[in-house]
Amino acid sequence: MPARDDLARARSRLRRAVLRRRRLIAAGLLAVAVVAGLHVVAAPPPPTVAVLAAGRDLPAGTLLDDDDLAHVALPPDGVPDGATTTLGDAVGRTLAAPVRRGEPLTDVRLVGTPLATADPGLTALPVRMPDAGAVRLLAVGDRIDLLATDPQSGTTDTVAARATVLALPAPAGTTGAEPPGALVVVGVEPVEVAAVSGAAARLFLGYAYAR
């Protein structure tokens, strides 16, 4: 019958077309198989943790804002202890030490109680020294003896030996509302806290580099 003959001829043409293009078809099927195999065996991306880092080089005493910070992705075993992860934990805080661009921000880089964790047993204490010029000579990490001088008697006593300079906060501004001198955050022994605080309030507080 004509219909059967037409179907047979169509099948014959299709078979000849497939045979002529069998290499191309085989190559295409192989490529599909390779892609599918790679998709199956490809390892998932490694896990990461988003932490805050300095968006640019920042000096000690910087009052942090959003523009100073950026999130970076680190592998879980590469996250430093005390890493800061949210902007709310950092914005408005003061840097205790300089940080480089891309350096993860940790709690001991910020002015606050954790600063003293670098030296277990010390208490972080902010004190104001009247000689701002002398304070500018200090650097974070310096060891100093805190000296209290009585202007009336002229006597000088050591109120804290080998205190650690933990932070050098920048001045709050030039409005004149801040007292004269400069603020220093020091790490002192707990038994020295009262003596240092009293000296800062009543006497002329200075320092000498500790040996």
Structural domain including 180 reads 111-211
The domain tally of the chain equals 3
Domain of 91: which CATH number?
A: 3.90.1210.10
pTM of the model as a whole: 0.58
Same structural domain for residues 36 and 49? no
What separation, in Å, do the N-terminal and C-terminal C-alpha atoms of the chain show?
A: 114
Same structural domain for residues 123 and 204? yes
d(CA 90, CA 95): 9
Same structural domain for residues 119 and 206? yes
Mark which of 107, 129, 163 sits at the end of a domain: 107
Which residues, 6+ apart, have CB-to-CB distance to 123 below 8 Å?
116, 187, 188, 189, 190, 193
d(CA 140, CA 163): 11
* Neighbour count for residue 111 (Cβ, 10 Å): 22
Same structural domain for residues 21 and 102? no
Same structural domain for residues 48 and 95? yes
Type of residue at 137: L
Mark which of 85, 107, 129 sits at the end of a domain: 107
Same structural domain for residues 36 and 60? no
Same structural domain for residues 32 and 59? no
CA distances from 7 to 2, 10, 12, 14, 39 (A): 9, 5, 9, 11, 41
Mark which of 78, 107, 136 sits at the end of a domain: 107
Instruction: Encode burial over 30-59: b for 16+ CB neighbours within 10 A, e otherwise.
Output: eeeeeeeeeeeeeeeeeeeeebbbbeeebe
29-80 per-position pLDDT tens digit: 666 666 666 555 555 778 888 999 999 998 877 888 889 999 998 998 888 8
Tell me what pLDDT residue 146 has.
95
Same structural domain for residues 120 and 159? yes
Tell me what pLDDT residue 30 has.
64
Same structural domain for residues 146 and 186? yes
Given a cut of 90, whether residue 179 has pLDDT beyond it is: no
Same structural domain for residues 192 and 116? yes
Same structural domain for residues 202 and 126? yes
Tell me what pLDDT residue 25 has.
63
14-34 per-position pLDDT tens digit: 555 545 555 666 656 666 666
